[in-house]
Amino acid sequence: MRGETKSGIEISLVTRSKMRQRVETKVQEMRQRFPLPKNRVLPWVGRACEESPRVLILGESAYEDDDDPDSKHYKDPAEIAIAVLEIGRAQIAGCYVDESGKRILATGNFIRNIFKYMTGRKPEQGRAFVDCWERWAFWELIQHRLKGRRKPSQEEFEEGWQALHEVADGRKWKPDLTIGLGYRMRDSVKKDKLLPRVGADGFFDYLPANLPVLFVHHPSYRRTDPSKEHNKIDQALRQLGFQGPPSTLGFAQSR
């Protein structure tokens, strides 16, 4: 099934049934790479993510919504982050449809603003937007879907930080920079577990596994300024020794 974006670019359309196949394929790929316990969220790692710098985009939590059949279907921890990313980028690219061919649109700015944070550009519909994500990795901190839009408990946050060390301990993969989406996650890290060590202005921290983490406003935050968050990310990468314009820092340009 094929269609066109508003700009006239031809793209392959993805139905819910095809998306389930896509998510399952990615889950199997990530299971082989990350032999985690079954109750752990698997990361989504792009095909070109090994190119330096390796950036992990860290979401806080995914929610189950009675009006969203996808959130009710993808409840296995192994699927959560992978489904959020795969569905979100297909929606913004304009290629996610139901079985009748009607487009399923994104209900918020989460994926759209992450793209702005990372590139400093507005997302465009079509294949270039989908391909751009292959340079990054994505993961959710909370290890199960939450109901009722409630705030995660401290115990859930601590379980997530422990799981992060299992995912990014350096044996299978280790990011050069983790970008934490939302200051609520930072507040959840107890002071005795956080080792502030680097950054001329002290704006990013090292977690015990020697993972530099930059916290930014949550992409769904109504007053967020994506250009300011992009500049923070660019500055953090430069402080870590990655020099050059965004195109040389792993942020793919449109093809």
CATH number, position 220? 3.40.470.10
Q: Identify the domain containing residue 11 by its residue range.
A: 2-248
pLDDT digits (tens, 9 = 90+) for 24-69: 999 999 999 999 999 999 999 999 888 878 999 999 999 998 889 9
- Whether 255 is in a domain gets the answer no
Q: What does pLDDT average to in each consecutive run of 10 residues of the chain (255 residues)?
A: 47 91 97 93 92 91 92 95 95 91 90 92 74 91 92 93 86 87 86 52 66 90 91 89 56 35
- Whether 10 is in a domain gets the answer yes
Query: What is residue 187's predicted lDDT score, i.e. its pLDDT?
Result: 85
pTM of the model: 0.88
Query: What is residue 97's predicted lDDT score, i.e. its pLDDT?
Result: 95
- Whether 253 is in a domain gets the answer no
- Whether 254 is in a domain gets the answer no
The two tokens of residue 51 are 């190119």
- Whether 222 is in a domain gets the answer yes
- Whether 236 is in a domain gets the answer yes
Under 8 Å between Cβ of 13 and 101: yes
Query: What is residue 37's predicted lDDT score, i.e. its pLDDT?
Result: 92
- Whether 28 is in a domain gets the answer yes
Total number of domains in the chain = 1
Query: What is residue 240's predicted lDDT score, i.e. its pLDDT?
Result: 85
